[in-house]
Amino acid sequence: MNYITPILFSFLLMMSACTDPGRMADNPFYSPSMLPLEAPDFELIEDEHFRDAFIDGMEFQLDEIREIADNSEEPTFGNTIVAMERSGALLNRTQRVFFNLTSAHTNEKIQGIQAEFAPKFAAHSDDIYLNSALFNRVETLYDRRDEMQLDHASLKLLEDTYRNFVRAGAQLSEEEQLRMREINERISSLTTEFQEKLLDLTRERSVIVENEELLDGLSSDRISAAREAATERGYEGKYLLSIINTTRVPILTSLNNRDLRREVWEASAFRGVGQDDGIDTRPIVLELAELRAERSEMLGYPNYAAYALEPQTAGSPDRVLEMLSDLIPPVISNTEQEAELIQEKMRKDGIEDELRPWDWEYYAERVRKARYDIDESEVRPYFELNRVLEDGVFYTMNRLYGITFEEREDLPVYHPDVRVFNVYDNDGIQLGLFYADYFERDSKRGGAWMNSFVVQSNLLGQRPVVVNVLNIPRPAEGEPALISFDNVTTLFHEMGHAVHGLFSDVEYPSQAGTSVPRDFVEFPSTFEEDWAIHPEVLKNYAIHHETGEPIPEELLDRLIAAREFNQGFETQEYLGATMIDLEWHLLNSEEIPSDVESFEEAALSKYNLDREAVPPRYKSPYFAHIFSGGYSANYYAYIWSEILAADAFAFMEQQGGLTRENGDHYREHILSRGGSLDALELYRNFRGDDPDVRHLLARRGLDAD
């Protein structure tokens, strides 16, 4: 009855509140999906369904919130906090589908809805968190928390709820709250606009190549894929090279033509600066920085970084800067050693010019080949996508956790590329559903991520439905999907996020799965990466796609050894982007510059990271993580989480490595607990100690001195 009653109540509420009850029968979002585990029914979902479901979903949730706030009974944890956890079913159900589509398979109609509703969603959130009657009930419970005898998860939920109200402005004056609403709506609109422009930039900055001879160095399957991509865009007989995500473009490792390498690199590095009357995202960057600073100051913080880091495990910008400052010297030392080797290789090729950013990855690959006798074209035939997924990723999850994946083709998907798998626990009971969406396309933004269509909750009786999204280059028609080792590790990384969602076993939906601090959420995903090079795992999936022969032992040894080369570059480009992020958000509202490029140059120089040949991984005009992706002042989280991941992997290796006992211990203390306990407390419960940063340096092949 505890599960049925809220559903019946919500249904009756919708029937009474809906301005057009007839549309409920035609809109699949108005009731839980009838598919297994409430998976979205994409055969029924149409773009126009989102608008009605959003309008009514917000109205229904506000009705629920008003009922909670106006309850004449004394506030209790059940009639206030738990009631809030139950609210918003229609809105949550719709948003989870919609926001995956805005990133993974968007179109003009979806973009229009996103732009229309972004400020409305911000206003809706404010209507909840700036509701004074509701806050009074929450505050009353918070003040009595020591006498309520709540379990750990419930106490944390209460404390987090109170903190969220305060950080939203619940204690501000009416005039200040009005300004806060204006800021929040504007920020929401700007981040949406930034995301849309980045998708447009992917199309705008593609490089069209007229002559196949210029593609010398690329494999035949990559050339075929480039030809097909050009044809799809209307460039018959030409070749299209896509610009995706980072400043560094993976294809630069292979292109022999230096002029074309420069063209591709510049197409990537100068995105969003309005070249040739193109898209200019810099005004959005400046306005967002100013609005975030103003909002933080209204709440009593010196800058946005202080506001954003308060609820993270780091706690403050000073702690982050201290950690990063300790890393910079050994990273620069390694980068300089790598640069000397690369420059030497260029001289042997007769190039007397200075080392340029479009040279680095190309010659780093050749140095790696010379030092370790490794060539990407030699390795890629051993990494066929489906085998990597099934015999690598799924195999590892089975060895560690006992789970199995079974593909099913009867569930509707949002794009033909998407695959669906039942996930079964070690006792044969279904844990959840896993969706896999791996190939790049014009309707998908760059990068890789995990989302949830349904989040686990014992309170709501729901099991998880999760999706992994990547951007692997699509093979030509009829060709096998041979992938780079970077793509291999990304598959393992995103599966780390997926099992974080799939293994969730918590009461409250707001604490489920990946609902943890931003600088902790990348720990479980980064942890899974290192299994990709575990000898037992590699031998199971690194099989030649034509001969069926396993990867030779000596090639395997060389591949693992070669991973350490170029880590100085990899880490420095990441630190460059991290420092740009922090410097933007350490500004107060009076310090916002007018020139984005000059600000970036000064930020990199400040930390001795201003080497021309090692540009930041992202520049501000296309830095999606911080201007549209929720990582503002938090991009450091990847390396902060990597400290935990490297330490956890080293600890597990000491305990016997790839065993069910180790996997079950990790699952019990980390993956199943979500945000129900303090993140570092979870880690200490698993590890028995605090993490040791030396394992990070070893993981990246950096000299600790």
Task: Write the CATH number for 313.
Answer: 1.10.1370.10
Q: Are 418 and 553 in a shared domain? A: yes
Residue 349's CB: how many other CB atoms inside 10 A? 11
Q: Are 45 and 158 in a shared domain? A: yes
Residue 186, in any domain of the structure: no
Which of these three, 562, 590, 610, is where a domain ends? 562
Q: Are 400 and 365 in a shared domain? A: no
CA–CA distance from 531 to each of 374, 527, 558, 645 (Å)? 20, 8, 17, 12
CA atoms of 344 and 350, how far apart (whole Å): 10
Note whether 41 and 35 are within 8 A (CB). yes
Residue 23: its pLDDT value, please?
A: 64
Q: Are 21 and 143 in a shared domain? A: yes
Residue 703: its pLDDT value, please?
A: 60
Residue 679, in any domain of the structure: no
The helix, strand and coil proportions of the chain, stated in percent and rounded to the nearest 5, come to 60, 5, 30
Closest CA to 685 of 662, 669, 672, 665: 669
Q: Which residues are catalytic?
A: 494
Q: Are 417 and 523 in a shared domain? A: yes
Note whether 433 and 37 are within 8 A (CB). yes
Residue 22: its pLDDT value, please?
A: 55
Q: Are 250 and 161 in a shared domain? A: no
CA atoms of 441 and 680, how far apart (whole Å): 38
The strand pair at 404-408 and 239-241 is best described as unpaired
CA–CA distance from 215 to each of 73, 271, 370, 451, 598 (Å)? 73, 22, 22, 36, 35
Q: Are 394 and 359 in a shared domain? A: no
Residue 631, in any domain of the structure: yes
Q: Are 357 and 385 in a shared domain? A: no
Closest CA to 453 of 95, 153, 170, 53: 95
CA atoms of 334 and 443, how far apart (whole Å): 39
| 3 state SS of 323 | helix
Residue 353, in any domain of the structure: yes
Q: Are 436 and 534 in a shared domain? A: yes
Which of these three, 219, 243, 277, is where a domain ends? 277
For the chain, the domain total comes to 4
Q: Are 405 and 502 in a shared domain? A: yes
Beta carbons within 8 Å of 8's beta carbon, 6+ residues apart: none
Q: Are 512 and 630 in a shared domain? A: no
Residue 2: its pLDDT value, please?
A: 38
* CA dihedral for 265, 268, 274, 279, sign (positive or negative): positive
Residue 703, in any domain of the structure: no
Write out the two tokens for 348.
């042997």
Q: Are 365 and 388 in a shared domain? A: no
Residue 7: its pLDDT value, please?
A: 41
Write out the two tokens for 453.
């269509």
Residue 269, in any domain of the structure: yes
All residue ranges of the chain with pLDDT < 50 are 1-13, 15-16
Residue 614, in any domain of the structure: yes
Query: What is the chain's alpha carbon radius of gyration, rounded to the nearest angstrom?
Result: 25
Residue 645, in any domain of the structure: no
Which domain CATH number covers 119?
A: 1.10.1370.40
Which of these three, 517, 532, 562, is where a domain ends? 562
CA atoms of 155 and 142, how far apart (whole Å): 9
Which residue range forms the structural domain that includes residue 161? 4-129+131-168
Amino acid type, 598 = S
Closest CA to 305 of 16, 85, 580: 580
Q: Which residues of 487-499 are buried (b: 16+ CB within 10 A; e: fewer)?
A: bbbbbbbbbbbbb
